[in-house]
Structure 1
């Protein structure tokens, strides 16, 4: 439910102090957090934030509903657990995911086994287009897929989970501290993201905007495989920064932000028609994990 996600974001702002910090914790853009809070203010018919200073802070009205917001979110989580316990959730569902999001999905599904031992969740992977087709055909129950931010045809079916900005991946052996992004792109072989894909299209557009000269060596449609080639110092690449990959702790990878790019890859939950309660339980687990 989008209202519950909105309240989780509101509570994240209160917990972490700023909208920027909440955006990071909730895996949303700052603009998305701002839009959610404006919607919450319209629903509550009052201003909840003081916007007069350099930073946006909760005002008295906002602080006055904190406990109620906590109660609503806790009640929703308890509702799902309670209904599930009452119905003794059992049986099997199938959830799909792109390869790059599978680790996040699988880790949370494993956690669900403790609370719902009778629930069997089978995971399958594929690209977003094929997973979307499978969901609409009823072949799988739901999926974690990539979607354009301007999607308007699926307002009730797709819910954004988190975003991934484009970054430059380079081996630390060649990542001199004073080297610019365009310099690294020009001096080293470039491992491209498959041009026909959504991400590949935006990478190509970014290279044009940067007026970056590149020396293409190959194209791939696997971020994990591209990262592995960068570790081997085969070349450099521009890819979405995987939210759940520990690249910052990887001694063989250097992650560089890219100036001049605002595009982010949007990862969301996709379902079609009436779904079993078990799918809501899985989605709620993912949202709760992102809010922690």
Structure 2
């Protein structure tokens, strides 16, 4: 429900102080957060933010609905739990994911074991196109996939979970703080991301925009494997900054933002047709984890 997502974003702004801080925390672009809040203001038929200063702040009207927003979110979450309890969520479902998002999915599925001990969630991994095919064929119930944003209608459902910007990964031994992205790309072997994938096509576009001729050493479709090769100083690479990987705290990795790069990889929840109630339980657990 878009209204619930807007209210979760609104409460994230209140919690973290600014739209920019909330955007970073819930893995949306600043523009997406701003668009959500403008829509929320239209729905509420009032201005909720003071935009007169350098930073956008909640105004009195915005502050006045904070408790109501919390009440609505709590009631919605309680409703889902109540429906689940009433119908006794038990049995097995299968949820797919790409390898790079599996840690996030698995950690949240484990959290469901306490409130839903009778629910068995089997996890499987594959490429996004294959996972989408499996969902449409009814071989699995839903999936966390990589996909470009799109508008879908029932029986197909696509809902964005979070976004990941492209960054350059390098070994700190060859990447001093003042080293530019273009100089690193020109001087060191390049580990490419699979060109036929959505991400690979956008990486190629970034290289063309930067007007850099790289020295490709190999091409892979695993971000974790690429990061490991960078740690071994095999080369540099451009990959999505995994939301749930603490690369900035890794002493063997240097992470550099790419000037002018605006594209972000979209990680989404995908389902098709009428789904078991249990899939909604998993999806809402993921959304709640992102909003915390």
Give your verdict on TM over 0.5. yes
Between the aligned partners of 1:93 and 1:211, the Cα distance in structure 2 is 47
Between the aligned partners of 1:154 and 1:95, the Cα distance in structure 2 is 21
Residue 213 (structure 1) shift:
2.5
Output aligned runs, 1:25-64, within 5 Å: 25-64=25-64
TM-score calculated relative to the size of structure 1 = 0.97
Residue in structure 1 matched with residue 196 of structure 2 by the alignment: 196
Residue in structure 1 matched with residue 142 of structure 2 by the alignment: 142
Q: How many residues align?
A: 291
Residue 134 (structure 1) shift:
1.2
Q: Residue deviations 1:140-176, cap 9 Å, x none? A: 1111111113x23458611111100000000111112
Residue in structure 1 matched with residue 282 of structure 2 by the alignment: 282
Q: Are the structure 2 counterparts of residues 40 and 276 from structure 1 closer, same or farther at C-alpha, using a change threshold of 3 Å?
A: same
Residue in structure 2 matched with residue 222 of structure 1 by the alignment: 222
Between the aligned partners of 2:275 and 2:133, the Cα distance in structure 1 is 16
Residue in structure 2 matched with residue 160 of structure 1 by the alignment: 160
Residue in structure 2 matched with residue 233 of structure 1 by the alignment: 233
Question: SS of the residue aligned with 1:274?
Answer: coil
Residue 222 (structure 1) shift:
0.6
TM-score calculated relative to the size of structure 2 = 0.97
Question: SS of the residue aligned with 1:205?
Answer: helix
Question: SS of the residue aligned with 1:175?
Answer: coil
CA contact (8 A) 2:23 2:29 kept: yes
| Cα RMSD, aligned residues only | 1.2
Residue in structure 2 matched with residue 84 of structure 1 by the alignment: 84
Residue in structure 1 matched with residue 70 of structure 2 by the alignment: 70
Question: SS of the residue aligned with 1:113?
Answer: coil
Mean Cα displacement is larger for which, 97-106 or 57-66?
57-66
Question: SS of the residue aligned with 1:84?
Answer: helix
Q: Could you list the runs of 5+ residues in structure 1 that have no partner in the other structure?
A: none
Runs of 4+ in structure 1 deviating by more than 2 angstroms, as ranges, are 152-156
Q: Could you list the runs of 5+ residues in structure 2 that have no partner in the other structure?
A: none
Between the aligned partners of 1:32 and 1:110, the Cα distance in structure 2 is 30
